[in-house]
Amino acid sequence: MLWKSSRRKLIRGMSSTSQKTTALSLLRMKRRGERITMVTCYDYPSAMHVDGAGIDVALCGDSLGMVALGMATTQPVRLEEMVHHCKAVRRGLSSQGPMLVCDLPFGSYEESPEQALKSAFTCVKEAGADAVKLEGGRIMACAIEKIVNVGGIAVMGHVGLTPQKISTLGGFRAQGRTAVKARAVLDDALALQDAGAFAVVAECVPDIVGRALAENLEIPVIGIGAGSYVDGQVLVYHDLLGSLHHPHHKRFVPKFCKVFADIGEASRLGLQAFKDEVQAGSFPSADFSPYKMPTQEAAKFRAMLHLDEDIRLSRRRETHKRIIDADEYENIGLYGGGNSNTFSPSSASTTTNGGGDIQSK
């Protein structure tokens, strides 16, 4: 299978990612103002394209039920199916490439923190995930604490639209469109941060809410339909490429395989364009930030943010100190690591404006 080895080396040689992406490196990206890119993919070929384009994070999401398995929602997806697909994604990523995050599917973590920890262990030990992601707000804080503190596994949170909960949400609908609901989204994200989450996905919320999340959280906020003010963007591989079929690579295919379309190269270029626009801050533009809040509700939301600004600032400083303390192990190379790209605590923002400069569109 020499052709596979050659193809792998060639495609991964295109990657702009020189070091393995970690929870710590994502935090540093936020502090340096660098935009984070994350792509949801479900198989080996798509993972290789994601790796080759230099994307920061590969998410094996439970949306595979709808995108790859033809299910109506994400709810029927089983943990065993997540493991199966995450293994394939793992094989497609280089050792110095994207961080691999695996979704915990519906019904695999909600019963108890113990169930959540067991499922997280499965994703890491059997599927090769670097971290897990789970949906839900403050009610999931105990589960995150268990996974992080007992299991030692990194957890990404998910607020706003949580597709696994569509039964109570009334379908796939934007969230946080009133001041009270927007504040609830922020409080949920803060609770996940306090529980130990290293990042939070914000889905389908107005850009004013996305901005409030990014400005009030110390950890990265990665948006999908959350406006341009968040710290990074995530899209599903098939969606951003405008394709609902599996790509095939052009280079080093077997001699008996006729290449009918240059989908592989087009896929890589599309992913690279996504990364470039996110890093340049041109995506998402106003055209792709559709969720707005009425002017009166926006004013109420800003007032809510102003009321407890000092408390949030104190909590953010505590989180900043906790992360800096933990980072000392990395900086001094206690475990043989060490990184020349260290950051100064003074470079981290410790001030907020209470949301006063958030503009309602």
Give 121's contacts (C-beta < 8 A, 6+ positions apart).
151, 153
Q: Which candidate, 191, 179, 251, 246, places its Cα nearest to that of 216?
A: 191
H/E element, 119: helix 113-125
Q: Rounded to whole angstroms, how far apart are CA atoms 116 and 143?
A: 6
C-alpha pair distances (Å), 121 with each of 151, 243, 355: 7, 33, 39
pLDDT of residue 5: 42
- Which of these CATH numbers, 3.30.70.1060, 3.20.20.60, 3.40.50.720, 1.10.357.10, describes 2-290? 3.20.20.60
Report angle CA 168, 170, 173 to the nearest 5 degrees.
Answer: 115
pLDDT for position 346: 41
Domain boundaries, the chain: 2-290
Mind telling me the catalytic residues?
203
For 64, residues 6+ apart whose C-beta sits below 8 A from its C-beta are 42, 77, 81, 82, 85
Tell me how far apart the alpha carbons of residues 69 and 61 are, in angstroms, rounded to a whole number: 12
pTM of the predicted structure, to 2 decimals? 0.78
Exposed, middle or buried, 80 (CB in 10 Å: 0-12/13-18/19+)? exposed
pLDDT per 10-residue tile (average), the chain, 361 residues: 41 55 97 97 96 97 90 92 98 97 96 98 98 96 98 97 66 80 96 98 95 98 95 91 51 56 79 95 93 95 94 92 77 50 42 43 41
Kindly state the tokens that stand for 137.
Answer: 């707000």
